[in-house]
Amino acid sequence: MKCKKCGFENKDKSKFCTKCGSSLNEPPVDDNNSSNSSSRYVIVALVIVIVVLVAAIGYLAFNMSSNSLQDSDNLEGDNASDSIDDDSQSDESYESDDDAKTRRVSSSDSSQSSKEKSWESIGSYSGSGSGSQSISVPPGKIKVELSAFPIKNYATNHLYVSGSNGESGGVDWGSTSAVETRSDSFTYESSSEELFTIDYYETVSWEVEFYRYQ
């Protein structure tokens, strides 16, 4: 049996080469197959590198194209805006004096209408316990808001507000009423000053506030 490694002639039944000691039963190493396998690995690696490079070049080209289109759109938009501004300025340059006066009058009317009337406080009064006091209220459109909390349910606890013009409002509690805060309000309009009396009895706290619409 010839050694496939060193070529030494051995006996037919020998398992190892007498000269080099190699196994006579092992298949010879095929250098061509090893070389072919290495070549395949190299080719696969080159293909992967080429694919990555092509993808990177395509991505860069796409971004450059998108940026170019965006810059072009922005430039066209700026030019259109400048054109509109120029047209507006041109139109305004031909405005007559009468039109300018009309605009000023409209602006003045708008500023006056924007100042809307509202309820503004003209007096606030509060206290506790029992008693009464008189309040002088100026003319105009007036709103009165009042509230009170009783000391205890005596069926006589109350807060009343009455005016010399006959306008009045108030809160009170009956013998079976819950001991809780109660509120009331009323409005009136007068061309003269009015005198109001605040009358309160057995209260923990009470409050009366006058508003004028102005």
Among 9-23, 59-73, 91-105, the range scoring the smallest mean pLDDT is: 91-105
The dihedral through the CA atoms of 24, 25, 26, 28 has a sign that is positive
- State which amino acid sits at residue 93: S
User: Each residue of 99-133: pLDDT tens digit?
Assistant: 655 566 555 555 555 679 999 999 999 999 999 99
Quick one: pLDDT at residue 94?
A: 44
- State which amino acid sits at residue 166: G
Pairing of strands 158-163, 140-150: unpaired
Quick one: pLDDT at residue 126?
A: 97
Give residue 84's pLDDT band: very low, low, confident or very high (50, 70, 90).
low
* Among the listed residues 145, 127, 124, the one whose alpha carbon sits nearest the alpha carbon of residue 205: 127
Quick one: pLDDT at residue 120?
A: 97
Domains of the chain as residue ranges with CATH: 119-213 (2.60.120.40)
Asked whether the beta carbons of 180 and 149 are under 8 A apart, the reply is yes
Mean pLDDT, rounded, for 142-152: 95
Quick one: pLDDT at residue 22?
A: 86
The two tokens of residue 189 are: 């309009």
By CB neighbour count within 10 A (0-12 exposed, 13-18 middle, 19+ buried), where does 171 fall? Answer: buried
DSSP string of 24-54, one letter each residue: SSSPPP-HHHHHHHHHHHHHHHHHHHHHHHH
Calpha distance 91→83 (Å, rounded): 12
Using CA atoms, how far residue 48 sits from 41, 43, 44, 54, in Å, is: 11, 9, 6, 10
Average pLDDT over all residues of the chain: 82
User: Each residue of 88-97: pLDDT tens digit?
Assistant: 554 554 445 5
Percent of the chain surpassing pLDDT 90:
46
Calpha distance 58→50 (Å, rounded): 12
